[in-house]
Structure 1
Amino acid sequence: MFASRRHLVDCARKQQELVHKRSTLPPIYSEPLTDDDQKILGLSLSQVASECNAHTIAPKAVLHVYGKRALMAHDATNCLSDFMIRDAERDVPLQRPLSGVVISIKDCIDVAGYDTTLGFSARTGRPAETSAPLVRLLQDAGALLHVKTAVPTGLLSFETQSDVFGETLNPYNPAFSPGASTGGGAALVAYQGSIIEVGTDIGGSARFPAAYCGVYSVKSSVGRFPAHGCVQCMPGLEASPTVTSPLARTLDDLREFWKRVVEMQPWLYDHTCIPLPWRPVDFVLSGRKPRWGVIWSDDIVPPSPACLRALREAVDSLRRAGHEVVDFTPPPTLDGLKAGFQLLFGDGGIALHAPRRPGETMNGAQRSVQLMLSLPLWAKKFLASMYRLLSRPEGRNEAWATLLETIHPMTIAEEHVQTVAREAFKEAWHKAWRDQGIDFVLTVPHAIPPVPRGGTGTATLVSASYCFLFNILDYCAGIVPVTYVDEALDRLPADFKQGREYQNMNDIARGVYSLYDPSGMHGLPLAVQVVGQRLEEEKVLAGMAEVERALWDAGHGFIAKEF
């Protein structure tokens, strides 16, 4: 009872603290945007840094503009978890690679003097004593860190909601989620409330929000981008570590940010970083067009008509531009998920729920995983056998049954067995990539467009397979916005549920498709995922540029909405 009351008190105190911080900001942040402000918003990241270093624009002027936009974004979407504007107003060094560049930080990354909550009330009122190495690097590079962004309780979710901060909404349609645990940052970037958001990704946590909010992101391989000082939702997990991943409103800004951070030699700041300098890749200058392999379905949840149309537009545009695009046959996704999910939840979910107080809300996706973990193994095996026995047509629920009977708390010896299985899966992928002779894999980020509010439990974390797959493999993966949902083009057939495709779907897929509503989703962003192999971040960014160029040449370029 005491812990439950403490939870309510700390949530209220944190919310009052945010209201107070906002109310004491200088009046300029509440003033309307001026013509000069609009000009600053039209500058790219490289232009902002150049103008500030040339003393033609003051860094504070840039901060004022993006501070105004951040407050507007927060009023519209509830995307912020803390205000750091007062500290950002202090004089910053110039003649630096990120001079005047305004950057937001996800609320799981330590910034000295500010809470790192992960959406838990128990973590409020406990400001970090030291900043993460990446934060120190950004400050040394001249960046302005102005806000922290909202996250869901415990991070793992398709929605961004907590008792501490409330619910973050999709800027394109408030009836839908901005996506996963970096949803606050994606909503902010889409609203032009920040030039760059520094988010994280453990199974799509940066890529889902980028796709849902029409912005760009690249998930790195482990060790390429500074990640120490980022508090993991499951601390100590090495089998599927969290990677720090930036988001940006334009691909040019994302590429420039990546380049400038790596050129700051992040391995001198963060002991977990690999000392690997920036390696430029430019397919235009080289005169070589890359070869693309397409994954049309992961054989667990087939892409909805809207997501499939976005993937086809990207494929058709690449082919028209002279690229060779072939179907890619990967090793069975289920093999990777079996090892990946067991390693992710091998402790039975103890670390994930340790900070949670009695009465603190658990999102639907976490509840479904916790229920699965709490069942004794014999009960799960029995349920799995029933799924196999009663499912018609035969084999329809094999994937769901397999995951059900394998996700359970493990001994250290069992974890070692799954680590070996994961490495065998990586080896099979490496061989398939080499044998089929591709540069990139192209696929969807998720089977449906943005999840409607309250839908994370129905979707379940199992449906994150299109993104989680590349965390298991430790491959680089980037998000490129392509188009928007069109209710006329993206409808399911009237007799869809009587058709063979639906009848053959497993229960996971049927649950996901129950959320698919092209009429309600009309106008929401759609994206594709560009995947490269381990430590190929520069190449993935170059591949994303090829996709974007091909789309524009084909007359299908993505135009982000102005809010």
Structure 2
Amino acid sequence: MWPFSESTWLTIAREKQQHRASEISKVTESFAKTISGDEQYTNASATQIVKNISERKWTAVDVTTAFIRRAAQIQELYNPITEVLFDDALKQAQALDEEFKRTGQLKGPLHGVPMSIKDQFNIAGYDTTIGFSAWCNSPAAKDAHVVNALRRAGAVIICKTNVPQTMLNFECSNPLWGATCNPWNALYTCGGSSGGEAAMLAGDASALGLGSDVGGSLRIPALYCGLYSLKPGAGRISREGAMSSNPGFDAIKVTPGPMGRTMQDVETLSRVLFASTPANDYEGIAPVPYRDVKLPSKLRIGYYFEDGWIRTSPANRRAVQETVDALRKAGHEVVEFELPSGPKALQLFAALTSGDGYQTLQSPVGNDPIEKNLFLITLGPRLFRWVHSTAVWFITNILRDPLFAKGLSNSKHSNLSDFWKNSASMKTMTKEFYDLVWDKYHFDAIIAPGMSCPALPHGGTTRLSPLANGTFYYNIIDSPVGAIPVTRVTTEDVITDEWKSKSDIPKSEGDRVTGSWILNEGVYGGNGKVGVYDPVKMEGLPVGVQVVGRHWEDEKVLAIMHVVDQALGPRGFGPGAWKPKA
């Protein structure tokens, strides 16, 4: 029997939250809550921070102090912080200032830049709980490899940030730390699993962030919160010291990656991370530092609007169209194509992740309450086999939603033979994508919808977790992918007859089945139900796109993200965009 009673996990959670509050107040009470000059620091990009410190206009202590003040404010409003490193951060900043004064040399390309770190990365002396009460009060003995790399580059780490329970979800909440909100609208999620990072960055509470991605965990929070991020291809960045409740799962590769408020900042952090190949070779990390890319003057870029699971909302279609229009205006060739085997990504993701019924993934949960947003993700394996097969038959033949049924069918306990078949299907899907897209069209990159819908309201993933199919896709085929903010939801992004004509789900054609009416109804409503998509309530929420490249072309993806960013022009994102509500 699990050794913790219900009261024990609750006691642990209260103690951790009280300790967090105490660590924040211990530092922030020693200086004014806000000062008028703070915004010159928090509104600066990481690149600008380093430049001003190098020119002796600013000090690392002044910059860090300003970001700590803002972090305390954002924590009170949106709850992104888990472990507080404020005191250590100020000491580190002081040491950087003293070293710079003595030598006149910056420690590295992130000298004095305040950073937040996703909770899963070990930091010596601090817990890595990832939302489990059972993992509390067991501080890490040493830094994760990427944390070491950041310190060597001069970054000042101010806190660790919140994640979803098990990290297999894109709604950032767990029983230990609670829910993290979206700074653009607190009624909506900030995304996940690197959700705390996104909330910190969107609120200018950290200048740069570090997250990870196995199904969209770097991209979804960036898309929901108006940020930039890169999911590198597997094998570019070390995972040593990155904790998981299922460390043996490697069917779909997890990769750390950068998150930031500007494109240049994401590139800078990528340069640091790509250059930090560990001295060991047991992880198989490619010993390849950042490679500068020279792009042709005229790029050939593909794009699509639909992934075949859920209709792409008017707001998200507009984000793709505005990106396409901007690139064409800049003189690039942009070609529409149909995404091959779109729904297969979620089916394979479900099959590969649920093989043991999520028992290993959920093993540290113990008596912690299970978050309701894990309901649909974990439903299949929880059903008795006869109930599971009956439900699949009923959804297929009576409800007539074979696509939803297929997703549920694949989410189950499976054997080794099933695993081999699913792994082979993943390889086949990857080859098919290269044959039918990269080799057929010879694109430099692809513009894809970020998600089919803007940020969901809290609780939205309970029955709408398959919305992540659009990001799962590029984990399955292991492509480097960036997220870039494009626009915001407006009240004009309503459902129209024109949208319906463009987004209507085609009929089944042979084995090609595109779209789930059950999920579409959950997003857009129908049959007397109210969907979550509401452009009036969602007004102002960020909407972005993905920029996709071939494997090992991470640097090219970053370079093309710069092109896209410049083509779109100023549009109200970046440092200083967020303002406290009056």
- Could you say which residue in structure 1 is the equivalent of 2:536? 519
The one-letter amino acid of 2:320's match is L
Distance of aligned partners of 1:336 and 1:170 in 2 relative to their CA distance in 1, 3 Å threshold: closer
**Residue deviations 1:451-502, cap 9 Å, x none?**
0012111212x221000111111111111111110112334559979x9659
One of 405, 417, 422 as aligned partner of 1:401? 405
In the TM superposition, residue 328 of structure 1 has moved relative to its aligned partner by 2.2
- Could you say which residue in structure 1 is the equivalent of 2:103? none
Distance of aligned partners of 1:340 and 1:16 in 2 relative to their CA distance in 1, 3 Å threshold: same
Q: Structure 1 CA distance, aligned partners of 2:245 and 2:523?
A: 25
Equivalent pair of 1:106/1:198 in contact (CA under 8 Å): yes
In the TM superposition, residue 556 of structure 1 has moved relative to its aligned partner by 5.6
One of 297, 317, 327 as aligned partner of 2:326? 317
Whether 2:452 is the aligned partner of 1:444: answer no
Distance of aligned partners of 1:260 and 1:509 in 2 relative to their CA distance in 1, 3 Å threshold: same
Q: Structure 2 CA distance, aligned partners of 1:313 and 1:96?
A: 37
The one-letter amino acid of 2:375's match is R
One of 372, 375, 380 as aligned partner of 2:383? 375
The one-letter amino acid of 1:77's match is Y
The one-letter amino acid of 1:382's match is T
Equivalent pair of 1:133/1:270 in contact (CA under 8 Å): no
Bigger shift: residues 152-161 or 417-426: 152-161
> In angstroms, what is the RMSD of aligned CA positions?
2.4
Q: Structure 2 CA distance, aligned partners of 1:337 and 1:213?
A: 24
Q: Structure 1 CA distance, aligned partners of 2:573 and 2:119?
A: 29
Equivalent pair of 2:50/2:111 in contact (CA under 8 Å): yes
One of 288, 292, 297 as aligned partner of 2:301? 292
The 3-state SS of whatever aligns with 2:181 is coil
The 3-state SS of whatever aligns with 1:268 is coil
One of 333, 346, 354 as aligned partner of 2:355? 346
In the TM superposition, residue 28 of structure 1 has moved relative to its aligned partner by 5.0
One of 434, 448, 455 as aligned partner of 2:439? 434
Distance of aligned partners of 1:2 and 1:549 in 2 relative to their CA distance in 1, 3 Å threshold: closer
In the TM superposition, residue 295 of structure 1 has moved relative to its aligned partner by 2.1
- Could you say which residue in structure 2 is the equivalent of 1:536? 553
The 3-state SS of whatever aligns with 2:204 is coil
Equivalent pair of 1:137/1:269 in contact (CA under 8 Å): no
The 3-state SS of whatever aligns with 1:535 is coil
Equivalent pair of 1:449/1:526 in contact (CA under 8 Å): yes
The one-letter amino acid of 1:125's match is N
Equivalent pair of 2:373/2:459 in contact (CA under 8 Å): no
Q: Structure 2 CA distance, aligned partners of 1:29 and 1:185?
A: 25
Equivalent pair of 1:328/1:441 in contact (CA under 8 Å): no
Whether 2:5 is the aligned partner of 1:3: answer yes
In the TM superposition, residue 269 of structure 1 has moved relative to its aligned partner by 7.2
Equivalent pair of 2:271/2:289 in contact (CA under 8 Å): no
The 3-state SS of whatever aligns with 2:447 is strand
Q: Structure 1 CA distance, aligned partners of 2:309 and 2:432?
A: 19
Please list, as runs of the form range in 1=range in 2, the aligned pairs for 1:15-164 lying within 5 A after superposition.
15-25=17-27, 27-28=29-30, 30-35=32-37, 37-90=38-91, 91-92=95-96, 94-164=106-176
Q: Structure 2 CA distance, aligned partners of 1:275 and 1:58?
A: 34
Distance of aligned partners of 1:226 and 1:34 in 2 relative to their CA distance in 1, 3 Å threshold: farther
In the TM superposition, residue 187 of structure 1 has moved relative to its aligned partner by 0.8
Q: Structure 2 CA distance, aligned partners of 1:491 and 1:416?
A: 43
Moved over 6 A (4+): 494-497
One of 493, 517, 520 as aligned partner of 1:509? 520
The one-letter amino acid of 1:17's match is H
Equivalent pair of 1:182/1:206 in contact (CA under 8 Å): yes
Q: Structure 1 CA distance, aligned partners of 2:454 and 2:8?
A: 38
Equivalent pair of 1:15/1:165 in contact (CA under 8 Å): yes
The one-letter amino acid of 1:337's match is L
- Could you say which residue in structure 1 is the equivalent of 2:512? none
**Structure 2 runs not aligned, ≥5 long:** 100-105, 508-514, 525-530
Equivalent pair of 1:548/1:557 in contact (CA under 8 Å): no
Bigger shift: residues 173-182 or 364-373: 364-373
Q: Which TM-score applies when normalising by structure 2?
A: 0.89
Q: Structure 2 CA distance, aligned partners of 1:311 and 1:495?
A: 14
**Structure 1 runs not aligned, ≥5 long:** none
The one-letter amino acid of 2:445's match is F
Q: Structure 2 CA distance, aligned partners of 1:495 and 1:303?
A: 9
Q: Structure 1 CA distance, aligned partners of 2:128 and 2:116?
A: 14
Q: Structure 2 CA distance, aligned partners of 1:452 and 1:31?
A: 31
Q: Which TM-score applies when normalising by structure 1?
A: 0.92
Equivalent pair of 1:203/1:467 in contact (CA under 8 Å): yes
In the TM superposition, residue 364 of structure 1 has moved relative to its aligned partner by 3.1
In the TM superposition, residue 386 of structure 1 has moved relative to its aligned partner by 2.1
Q: Structure 2 CA distance, aligned partners of 1:153 and 1:387?
A: 29
Q: Structure 2 CA distance, aligned partners of 1:57 and 1:259?
A: 24
In the TM superposition, residue 378 of structure 1 has moved relative to its aligned partner by 4.2
Distance of aligned partners of 1:271 and 1:49 in 2 relative to their CA distance in 1, 3 Å threshold: farther
